[in-house]
Amino acid sequence: MPNLLEGMDAVLFDAGFTLLEPVRSVGDVYYEKALSYDIDLDRNAFNDRLRVLWTNLRDEYRSRSPELLSSEEMERAAWRDFSAEVARPFPVLFESHDSWLSELICHFDHPDAWRPIEGALELIYSLRAKGVRVGIVSNWHSALHEILKGHDITRHCEFVAVSSEVGRKKPHPHIFEHAIRALEIPLECVAHVGDSWDEDVIGAKNAGLHAIYYSPSGTCPEARPAVPVIRSLSELLDS
């Protein structure tokens, strides 16, 4: 097996669904929190609504902000708009939207809602032991800091670049350039690992980084991708 990190002095990681995953599925949490309002909610209809809106979430954000601007307010507003649209076809839930959203925020902004993906901690520890520098570049809001800290990830990273604080979302090159400035090492010696083809692979490549696509399913948008594709983080642990 080729050493996918050969020659890399630093490795950057996406956070959500690369290093971290929800303990319970997003759909289950949204649905069960909604049931607390004594709503007779058709689960299939609710799941279908959530799935469609989730699929279009990135495009909707980009239509509002083509320059991929980000801030704490914008990230929170996007979450508020998304949950309101999920609730809209269900009148009782829509009327209770603000309270429902508060419950969702309390849940997903807490470290207990997340867990490290298999092999994530071992990979970070191994890289640091080898002297490889580690950082995180993520489209998230400020709550990510406490989530990472709660899973003993932060202290092993030189920095955490969060879009709401940097001011741009991936795949905009600015957030990657922010990370490179923090590292102060040549672009060709930095790898970025993430689960989004557009945000992590295309974004990193356009910024001049060595991109690695994390795809647990093994599927890829391109038949012959010009980047390494891994199905588990352990493939990098062995590198």
Angstrom distance (rounded) from CA 142 to CA 125: 24
> Is the model's pLDDT at 117 over the cut of 80?
yes
Give the per-residue pLDDT at 29.
97
Angstrom distance (rounded) from CA 159 to CA 145: 10
* Sequence ranges of the domains in the chain: 10-19+117-237, 26-112
Mean predicted lDDT score pLDDT of the chain = 94
**Residue 151 and residue 114 in contact, taking contact as beta carbons nearer than 8 Å:** yes
Cα–Cα–Cα angle for 163, 167, 169, rounded to 5 degrees:
45
> Is the model's pLDDT at 1 over the cut of 80?
no
Angstrom distance (rounded) from CA 85 to CA 87: 5
Q: Report helix, strand or coil for 212.
A: strand
What DSSP state is assigned to residue 69? B
Give the per-residue pLDDT at 206.
96
If you average pLDDT over residues 51-60, what whole number do you get? 89
> Residue 238's pLDDT band (boundaries 50, 70, 90)?
low
What DSSP state is assigned to residue 110? S
Instruction: Answer yes or no: CATH 3.40.50.1000 is held by domain 10-19+117-237.
Output: yes
Give the per-residue pLDDT at 237.
82
Biggest CA–CA distance in the chain, Å, is 57
195: closest CA among 166, 167, 172, 217? 217
What digits encode the pLDDT tens for the residues 118-166?
999 999 999 999 999 999 999 999 999 999 999 999 999 999 999 999 9
Give the per-residue pLDDT at 212.
98
What DSSP state is assigned to residue 67? T
Residue 118 neighbours by CB under 8 Å, 6+ apart: 232, 233, 234
If you average pLDDT over residues 87-116, what whole number do you get? 96
> Is the model's pLDDT at 218 over the cut of 80?
yes
Which tops the pLDDT comparison, 64 or 179?
Answer: 179
Where helices occur in the chain by DSSP H, the ranges are 26-35, 43-55, 57-64, 72-87, 91-95, 97-108, 120-129, 144-150, 163-166, 173-183, 203-206, 234-237
What digits encode the pLDDT tens for the residues 195-210?
999 999 999 999 999 9
Strand partners, 22: 114
Give the per-residue pLDDT at 62.
83
